[in-house]
Structure 1
Amino acid sequence: MKIGLVRHFKVAHQPVSGRMSGEQFNAWAEEYNQSNIESGEFSSSEQVWEACFSSDLPRAIHTANQIYTGDIIYTQQLREIEIVATSQTGMKLHRSIWLALGRIAWYMGHSSQPESRGSTLLRTQAVIERLERDFGSSNVLLVTHGAFMKVLAQQLALRGYIGKRIFYPRNGELYIYEKDS
């Protein structure tokens, strides 16, 4: 079985410059979640994919429609790990600081984040179990998001899949994980 992971194409959303409050960051994150993508290049390495799953967020949907010609299964299970500001005080920080604090808070299991690290791990395990159960001998393409993709790749490796280690998932790049049946 081969599982191909693709991070959505680059998002056509203007980053906010300067500092913002937690409330402003949360609004920015929601706008980002609903944004469209810039068209991108995709090299599938001539791999034939029998099935394609995609996150149901717009940026992944549009990417999947550009890179896969068959029927696509859209699912919330492939959504990005949601991130919100760790504080709702009037403190203003740069967007990158809010993002870093949110990811650290998620990793540490802080209650400010909508999804715990444990819940994310369970979600990735459920995705893999579904693929192995329903598509065990097929090659399946997954269109998803950066942080979730890293966790998914780690879980695939723990289950014996071999593939390139993902440090920073590039938009539109294919990462293939393979396991002999």
Structure 2
Amino acid sequence: MKIGLVRHFKVKKDFPKKFLLTQQELSQWIKEYDVADIEEGEVDLGDIAWKRCFTSDLPRAEKTARKIYQGPITVTKALREIPICPLFRNHEVKLPLWAWGLIMRGAWLCNHRSQIEVKQDVQRRLADVIDEIMSRNGEDTLIVSHGILMVSMRQELLKRGFKGPRLGTPANGRLYVFEK
């Protein structure tokens, strides 16, 4: 059985022009990023006859899935990007985009109370998706999702005996195959 992970195509949304951002400015940029269009490309699906495809319901992932896969696609919230939630009570704090990303992902990794969804919740929803895929008699399945989520998905697949590549920061529009 093979499970292929693909990160959505690159998003047509420039980074903020301002170097320092407040939480409110960051939240607005994220909302715009979530609905932005994608730069379509080609994905080498490895000459594998994928039988099914699952994708996040966020537009960038769903559009990518529809571009690269011609069969039935299961669209699910379970494959959504991990939400980033405001951390500070002082809304005037200004940080560079990279610092916000580091702090907010760190808060998520540490299960900080500011985060809507903790790491265990994400692992549980990914486990449910893998359970559904595995209940389909070993059909080779493609999953189109998001970078950080793919790293967590890889951990779940390895726990279940799949073998596959390290991801680091997954490239947009690239296939990563895991096999059992």
Q: Return the TM-score normalized by structure 1.
A: 0.95
- Alignment of 1:53 with 2:54, yes or no, is yes
% identical aligned pairs: 39
Letter in structure 1 aligned against 2:110: M
**Are positions 1:25 and 2:47 aligned together?**
no
What's 1:154 paired with?
Answer: 155
Match of 1:116 among 103, 115, 118: 118
Aligned length: 178
Deviation string, structure 1 residues 13-49 (Cα, Å, up to 9, x no partner):
1110311101111111111111111112211111110
Deviation at residue 72 of structure 1 after TM alignment: 1.0
Q: Any conservation in 2 of the 1:83–1:103 contact (CA below 8 Å)?
A: yes
Moved more, 79-88 or 153-162: 79-88
Q: CA deviation at 1:166?
A: 1.1
Is the 8 Å Cα contact of residues 21 and 88 (structure 1) preserved in structure 2?
no
Distance (whole Å) between structure 2 residues aligned to residue 95 and residue 15 of structure 1: 8
Secondary structure of the structure 2 residue equivalent to 1:112 = coil
2:4 is the counterpart of 1:4: yes
CA apart distance, 1:88: 4.3
Q: Which amino acid aligns with 1:177?
A: F
Worse-matched range after superposition: 146-155 or 40-49: 40-49
Secondary structure of the residue aligned to 1:120 is helix
> Which sections of structure 1, spanning at least 5 residues, go unmatched?
none
1:1-181 counterparts in 2 under 5 A? 1-17=1-17, 18-89=19-90, 90-133=92-135, 135-179=136-180
Deviation at 1:71, TM superposition (A): 1.7
Please report the TM-score for the alignment, with normalisation by the length of structure 2. Answer: 0.96
Segments ≥4 residues shifted beyond 6 Å: none
Q: Aligned Cα RMSD in Å?
A: 1.0
Distance 1:39 1:127 in 2: 26
How many angstroms apart in 2 are the aligned matches of 1:69 and 1:61? Answer: 12
Deviates more, 1:81-90 or 1:114-123: 81-90
Distance in 1 between residues matched to 2:134 and 2:20, nearest whole Å: 45
How many Å separate the matches in 2 of 1:67 and 1:92?
Answer: 39
Task: Tell me, yes or no, if the aligned pair for 1:23 and 1:88 is still in contact at 8 Å.
Answer: no
Instruction: Map Cα deviations across residues 140-164 of structure 1 (whole Å, 9 max, x no partner).
Output: 0000000011000011001100111
Distance of 2:24 and 2:16 partners within structure 1: 13
